[in-house]
Structure 1
Amino acid sequence: MTQPLVYKFGGASIKDAKAIQRIAQLLKNHWANNLVIVVSAAGKTTDKLEHLISLSFDNKDFDVPLFELLDYHLDLCKGLFEEGHPIFTRVENHFAQLRRSLENSAIKENQAFFYDQIIGYGELISTRIFQEYLCLKGCPCLWQDARELVSTDSRAKMARVDWALTMQHCRKILIPMLDTFPVVTQGFIGRDLQGNTTTLGREGSDFTAAIMGVSLGASSVTIWKDVAGILNGDPDIFPDAVKFEYLDFEEAAEMTYYGASVIHPKTIKPLSKHGISLHVKSFLNPSLAGTIIGAFGQAPRIPITIIKHKLSLIELRIRDLSMFGGFHFDYIYDVAEKLNADIQLIQGAAAHINIVIDALPIDEEQINKAFRDVFRVSIKNNLRLVTVKNPTSVEIDHYRKMEMELVLEQKSPDLIQWLFEKE
C-alpha cells in the first residue's frame, strides 16, 4: 500500500446539505484508496450536546432541544438522500441511543465522565451521514469507529493518548481497509482500557488527524478550513494580514500555544517528531495553495499577532515569608493541571506570581482552595491577552497607547505580551 493521506474536515465544512455536497465533490477530485477522512460533528452540534448534557445532569427536561437536534440532522439528510434511504433509520437509532444515555443515572455520578459518554454522538452521527453520501455519489468508502483506533487513559475531557496501543490498532484495523477503500472516521473521541468513551479536548479533531497520520506513517495531513491558510493575524481585526506559504513546525507550535485558533495545540508536536508535513487548505477554494507546515528551519521574521479573550488573571502572594523567593513553579503547574487550567502566561517576582489562564467552568472559591496552602489568591476575569511574536515598533506603539486598560506586560527579544482589562 502507498503511504496514506489524512484529510480532516471540521463542523463548518459539513454544516448543511450544500456544504456536504461541496466536500463530496472536493473528495471526488482527490479520491484514492489510501485516504483516511477524519470528520467532526456537523455545524454547532457539539454546543447543543453540551446544553443537553447540562440539562440532563441537572435533572431538567431536555426533550425540546433533543428533538430540535434530531430534526436538524434529519433535515440535513433530506437534502442529500431520497425518502426511504436507510440513513434516516440509522440517524433515528443513534438518537434513541443518545436519549438512553442521557437518561442513564448510572453514568451521572461524575459530570466530566458523563460528558465524555454523550458528547461523541455528534461525530458518530455526522460520519454515518457523510460516509453514506460519499457512497451514494460514487465514492465507495468504509465507516470506522475511532474508539476502536484511539486508545487513551481515563482522564475525563482531556484524555492522554496511549501511542503504542493506538499505533497497533490503527495498523491492524486500517491498513487492510485502505488496501481496498478509503475510510471515514471521527475526530475528538477515543476509548480507555475499561471500554469507556473518552475525549481529546474541545476542538480535538485536528489532533485525531495527527494521531492517524503518525500511526499510519502518512505522507501528509491536510486540515481543510474556511480560510485560505494560516495568516499572521486575524483578518477581521487586521485587514492587511499576510498568509504564510510555508511555516516551520516550531513557529506553528508557538502560535497554537499562544492561542492561534487555526490548529489544535496538540496537533503539531507528533507530526514534527515524525517529520510529517501539515497542510492547511481552504475547502471553499481547494485549488489555492494554502499553508504548508514542516521542517523548514528559520522563517522570515514576520510579526504575528494573536489575541485571546475571556481569560483570568490569578495573582498569587506568598503566605509565609520564610518561603520568600522560592517561586514554586512546580507547585503552580501541578495545581493548574488538577484544575485542568491552561497557563497562557506566568510572571514571577520574589513574593508574588501572576498566572493567566483560560476561564474555568468552576467558581472562584474552588480556585482559591486549590492554591491557598501556599498563597493568598485574588482573581480578575474577562481579560484579553495580546501576544505578538517578532514585534516591530508598529505593534509596540499601537498597543502601548492602551495604557489605561493594561494589566500587565511581559517581553523578550522576540515576543511581547499585554494583558488588558477590557474584554
Structure 2
Amino acid sequence: MQVLKFGGTSVKSSDAIKRVIDIVSNALNKDRTVVVCSAISKCTDTLIEVGKRASERDLSYKELINALQERHRQIIAEALRPEYQDNAYKTLDALFESLNSIANGVFLLGELSPASMNAIVSHGELMSTKIISAAFASAAIDNRWIDSREVVKTDDNGSVDVALTNDNIASTLGKYPHSSLFIVPGFIASDLKGRTTTLGRGGSDYTASIFAVALKAREVQIWTDVPGMMTTNPKVVPTAKTIRNISYRAALELSHFGAKVIYPPTIQPVVAEGIPIYVKDTFHPEEAGTLIEKNPPRQQYDMIGISNSDNIALIRLEGSGMVGVPGFSSRLFDTLSRNGINIILITQASSVHTMCIAISEKDAPKAKAAADDCFAYEISIGKLNPLKVETGFSIVCLLGDDVLEHSGATGRMLAALGAHGIPVRATAQGSSERNISVIIPSDKVNDAIKHIHYEFFDKSTIQQVNLFIAGYGTIGKELVKIIAANREAICKRTNKNIHICGLANSRKYIIDTEGFDPNSAAELLENGTSAEADSYFEAMANLSLENSIFVDCTASPDMGFKYMTLIQEGYSIVACNKIPFSGAFNRFDSLIKAAQVAGVNLRFETTVGAALPIIHTINRCINCGDAIHKVEAVLSGTLSYLFDKYDGGDFKALIAEAKAKGYTEPDPSIDLSGRDVLRKLLIISRLAGIPLEESDVRLTPVPSEEEVKRLYDEAKAENKKLKYVATIDADGRAEIGIKAIGPDNALYGLKGTDNAALITTDDYPSPMVIQGAGAGARQTAGGILNDILT
C-alpha cells in the first residue's frame, strides 16, 4: 500500500486534477493506493470567511458561497465526461445545501462556535474529493471514496485516538480487498459522538500519515507545487536547489524553522514508523523531488538548507547582581513558562553578566511585565536593570546533519554576513548538532539568506556574475554585443553565467536583478527610468546581489567618488575610464586601498592599452619582486597612426584623413595635446610604485606643422622615425613627447594604430615588448570582458 497526498494547488483546477489522475494511474501500476486530498486552493480560507461573515450577520457570506459553488461546478464541467457530470452536480449541490444550512444557522444565531466552524470548513475537503473520485471514474479508473470522519476519531481534546483510528482504517479498507484505489478527504475527522472535527494546520498531511501508519504503507508521497524541499526559499534565492535526500530529523528541523513544504507534527507518525516520505511537484512529476528517510546517502553539499523565522523579539536581562549568584536563569525561565511564553533561543555571556533570550514578538509585552515583577526587588536596589525588550528581529538557521563534523561552518556563516555588513545580535548552535542560528534585523533577512546560500551552496557551482554598466556608447554597445554572442560559451569555459542587471546612459537607466536579454538592451534602455542625478547609483546601492560588478564605459570625471560608494556596498569595479585613476594620487591610492579592505576587485586594464596586458604585466612584475627600471611606450593609437603615415607632406591633411577614418577624437586637438597619453603614463607609474602627479611629468604636445616637418627631416637623415613616446624610469623622471627612434628600438617598427610598451626590469634587462592594437571598440570591450572574468 502507498499513500499519496495532494495539496490544494494540486487540485485547484480541471487541468491540475487531470495531472493528479496521470500521477495516480502510474502509481497504481506499482501498488494499491490511498489518495488523500485537501480542499481546492483558497477554498478553506473562503469557508472561514463565510463563517465569520455569517456570525456578523453580513449577508455577503452568500456571495462567497455562490462564487465557491460556481468554481467547483466549472471544474466538474471541464474535468468530467458529460455522462458523469449530472451525478457530480447532484452530489455537489447537496454539499452546498448543507453548507448554506449551517451558515444560515450561524447567521440567525449571530454566533460561530468551534463546532459550527468545523462543520463549515469540512465542506472544502468533502467537495474536492467527491469531484476527484468522480473524475477518476470518468477516466475509467475504479475507486472508492472513504469518509475520513467515519474512521479518524478524535477525543474530547481534539487529539486523534490512534488505536481506535488504526482499527477503523484497517477494518474499513479491509472490506474491499479487490479495490486498488481509495479517495480520502484530508484534514477532517469526527469525535466519539460523531461530530465533525478538524486536524488543524497541516491536517491533510496528518491524515496521510495516519492512513500510512494504520495500513503499514511502504511510502508516503506528498504532492505539492514545488519541486521538493529546497536549500532555501527560491523566491529569495533563485539558485536554490532541490534537496534530493534528507533525514527525518533534518527535514523536521528545516520545517520547524520556516520551510513550508511539510509541517513537523503532522508527519511525526510516519517518522516514528520509519516510513519514507517523497515530496514531489504535481506540475513536474518527472523531477526526482525529495526523499525523506532515516539514513539518507551523503549529499553534495556540507550543509542541507537555510530557513528563517520572523517576528522575533529579544529580551535582555543584565546587571552586576547576576555575577556569581545562582538561580537567576531558572527564575526567569520559570516566570516565562508560567506565563505561557515559549523560549526560542538563549545566549548567555561567560561572565554571567548578561542573558539574551529570543521569544515571539507577540509575547514581548507579557514577558517584560512578568520578568520585571519577578525581579522587582533586584531592580529596585540596582543589582539588575529592568528587562530590555527589542523587536524587529528574525532567526536565520543554517541546517545540516551533524554540524560539528563540518569544521568552520559557523565561521563561514558569520564571515558571509560580516562581509556584507549584516549585524548579528545573537548566535547559538543547537545541542542536536543540526543547526547554527543567528538573530539579525528582519529587514536584513533576505540579504542574509542570499549570502549564506552563496557561501555554502553556490560557490562551487556555476557562478552568476551580475553586471551594472554605465555608458552605452561605442564601447558599451560593443561589450553588450560580445556578451550576447558569447554568453553560453563563456559559461561553459569559466563556469560564470553573466547577467546584465543594469544599464545606463546619460538619460535613462534600467535595472532588473534577474538580468535582461542583451539583445533587447537598446529598446529596454530607451523605455527605462529617467537618470536624474545619481538615481542609477542609488538604486544599485539598495540592491544586495552576490558577485556584482560595476562596469564604467564612460569618460565621466566624477566616477571616482561613485566607485568609492559602490566598493563600500560590495561591488567590484571594471573600468576603461582613465580619469578616476589619473587624477590626484591620493584619490587613486584611496580607491586601491578601499577595494583591498572591502575584498572586491578593481580592474582597469583597458585604461592604458585597450586589451593589451600592460597593467597585468606591471602588476605581475611588482608582485614577484621584479623591480621595474624603465617603461617606454607609445600609448596613443591616433598619434601612432599619424607618425607612421607622415612622410614630410601636409600634416594637417593627414590629421583630417585620420579623423575621417575615426582614428581621432571628434576634436583632434585633444589627441595632439598629449593629455590622453599623460593619463595613461600616470596610471603606469603609480602601479609601478612611483606616485607621480601631473605636475611631475614633462609633457610636450605635438608641435606646429613646421616643427613636425623639421623634426621629421632630422630623423630621416639619421635613419630614424618619429614616435610620440611616454617614458618613466625608476627615479621618477617622466616625459612625453616626440622622439626620434632608431631601428634598434622595438618602437621603430610600429605600424598603423598599434601601441607598444617596452618594460625593462631586473629579470628583463632586454625589455619585454607588449605590442598590438591599443584602441578600438572591439578590442577595448574585449579587454573589459577579460577584466570581468578574472
User: Following TM superposition, by how much is the alpha carbon of 1:141 offset from its aligned partner in structure 2, in angstroms?
Assistant: 0.4
| Native 8 Å contact 1:252 1:268 kept in 2 | no
| Native 8 Å contact 2:55 2:112 kept in 1 | no
User: Following TM superposition, by how much is the alpha carbon of 1:407 offset from its aligned partner in structure 2, in angstroms?
Assistant: 5.3
User: Following TM superposition, by how much is the alpha carbon of 1:203 offset from its aligned partner in structure 2, in angstroms?
Assistant: 2.8
Aligned match of 2:160? 161
User: Following TM superposition, by how much is the alpha carbon of 1:372 offset from its aligned partner in structure 2, in angstroms?
Assistant: 9.0
Say which structure, 1 or 2, has more relative contact order (CA 8 Å, 6+ apart): 1
**Separation (CA, whole Å) in 1 of partners of 2:355 and 2:194:** 44
Could you state the TM-score of these two structures normalised by the residue count of structure 2? 0.47
- Correspondent of 2:143 among 141, 163, 169: 141
- Correspondent of 1:325 among 325, 329, 332: 329
User: 370-379 or 233-242, which moves further after superposition?
Assistant: 370-379
Aligned match of 2:48? 50
| Native 8 Å contact 2:250 2:434 kept in 1 | no
**Separation (CA, whole Å) in 2 of partners of 1:167 and 1:109:** 35
User: 125-134 or 325-334, which moves further after superposition?
Assistant: 325-334
Which amino acid in 1 is paired with 2:133? Answer: Q
DSSP 3-state at the match of 1:42: coil
Greater Rg over alpha carbons, structure: 2
Could you state the TM-score of these two structures normalised by the residue count of structure 1? 0.83
Which amino acid in 1 is paired with 2:357? Answer: N
- Equivalent residues in 2 for 1:235-314, closer than 5 Å: 235-296=234-295, 299-300=298-299, 301-309=302-310, 311-313=311-313
User: Following TM superposition, by how much is the alpha carbon of 1:327 offset from its aligned partner in structure 2, in angstroms?
Assistant: 4.6
Deviations 1:191-238 (A, max 9, x none): 222322222222321121111101110011111122222222122222
Which amino acid in 2 is paired with 1:139? Answer: I
Aligned match of 1:103? 104
**Separation (CA, whole Å) in 1 of partners of 2:15 and 2:396:** 37
| Native 8 Å contact 2:314 2:393 kept in 1 | no
**Separation (CA, whole Å) in 2 of partners of 1:335 and 1:299:** 43
Which amino acid in 1 is paired with 2:398? Answer: V
Identify the structure with the greater helix proportion: 2
DSSP 3-state at the match of 2:442: coil
Deviations 1:65-108 (A, max 9, x none): 22111111112222123385111121122112112222334997
Q: Answer yes or no: is 1:419 the counterpart of 2:439.
A: yes
Q: Answer yes or no: is 1:115 the counterpart of 2:117.
A: yes
**Separation (CA, whole Å) in 2 of partners of 1:139 and 1:406:** 57
Which amino acid in 1 is paired with 2:328? Answer: F
DSSP 3-state at the match of 1:170: helix
| Native 8 Å contact 1:6 1:209 kept in 2 | yes
Deviations 1:338-382 (A, max 9, x none): xxx8x582326688663434x77xx98888899998589887666
| Native 8 Å contact 2:258 2:309 kept in 1 | yes
Aligned match of 1:222? 221
| Native 8 Å contact 1:405 1:421 kept in 2 | yes
User: Following TM superposition, by how much is the alpha carbon of 1:397 offset from its aligned partner in structure 2, in angstroms?
Assistant: 2.8
User: Following TM superposition, by how much is the alpha carbon of 1:127 offset from its aligned partner in structure 2, in angstroms?
Assistant: 0.4
Aligned match of 2:191? 192
Structure 2 stretches of 5 or more lacking a match? 376-385, 401-408, 444-790
| Native 8 Å contact 2:35 2:183 kept in 1 | yes
User: Following TM superposition, by how much is the alpha carbon of 1:418 offset from its aligned partner in structure 2, in angstroms?
Assistant: 2.9
**Separation (CA, whole Å) in 1 of partners of 2:258 and 2:416:** 20
Q: Answer yes or no: is 1:398 the counterpart of 2:408.
A: no
User: 343-352 or 221-230, which moves further after superposition?
Assistant: 343-352
**Separation (CA, whole Å) in 2 of partners of 1:26 and 1:55:** 38
Check 1:169–1:365 CA distance in 2 against 1; reply closer, same or farther (3 A cut): farther
| Native 8 Å contact 2:188 2:199 kept in 1 | yes
Which amino acid in 1 is paired with 2:89? Answer: F
Aligned match of 1:354? 357
User: 163-172 or 221-230, which moves further after superposition?
Assistant: 221-230
Check 1:251–1:6 CA distance in 2 against 1; reply closer, same or farther (3 A cut): same
- Equivalent residues in 2 for 1:56-95, closer than 5 Å: 56-61=54-59, 62-81=61-80, 82=82, 85-95=86-96
Check 1:249–1:76 CA distance in 2 against 1; reply closer, same or farther (3 A cut): same
User: Following TM superposition, by how much is the alpha carbon of 1:292 offset from its aligned partner in structure 2, in angstroms?
Assistant: 1.4
User: Following TM superposition, by how much is the alpha carbon of 1:110 offset from its aligned partner in structure 2, in angstroms?
Assistant: 6.3
Which amino acid in 2 is paired with 1:325? Answer: S
Task: Tell me how large the CA RMSD over aligned residues is.
Answer: 3.4
**Separation (CA, whole Å) in 2 of partners of 1:378 and 1:91:** 56
User: Following TM superposition, by how much is the alpha carbon of 1:419 offset from its aligned partner in structure 2, in angstroms?
Assistant: 3.4
**Separation (CA, whole Å) in 2 of partners of 1:372 and 1:129:** 57
Deviations 1:288-324 (A, max 9, x none): 3222111216844324101334x34374879xx9973
| Native 8 Å contact 2:306 2:397 kept in 1 | yes
Aligned match of 1:150? 152
**Separation (CA, whole Å) in 1 of partners of 2:267 and 2:346:** 26
| Native 8 Å contact 1:405 1:422 kept in 2 | no
- Correspondent of 2:6 among 5, 9, 12: 9
| Native 8 Å contact 1:232 1:241 kept in 2 | yes
| Native 8 Å contact 1:14 1:20 kept in 2 | yes
Structure 1 stretches of 5 or more lacking a match? none
DSSP 3-state at the match of 2:263: coil
Aligned match of 2:394? 384
Aligned match of 2:573? none
Which amino acid in 2 is paired with 1:313? Answer: A
Check 1:352–1:37 CA distance in 2 against 1; reply closer, same or farther (3 A cut): same
Deviations 1:151-205 (A, max 9, x none): 22344xxx42221111111111122235324110011122222322222222321
**Separation (CA, whole Å) in 2 of partners of 1:196 and 1:367:** 38
| Number of residue-to-residue matches in the alignment | 406
Percent identity (aligned): 26
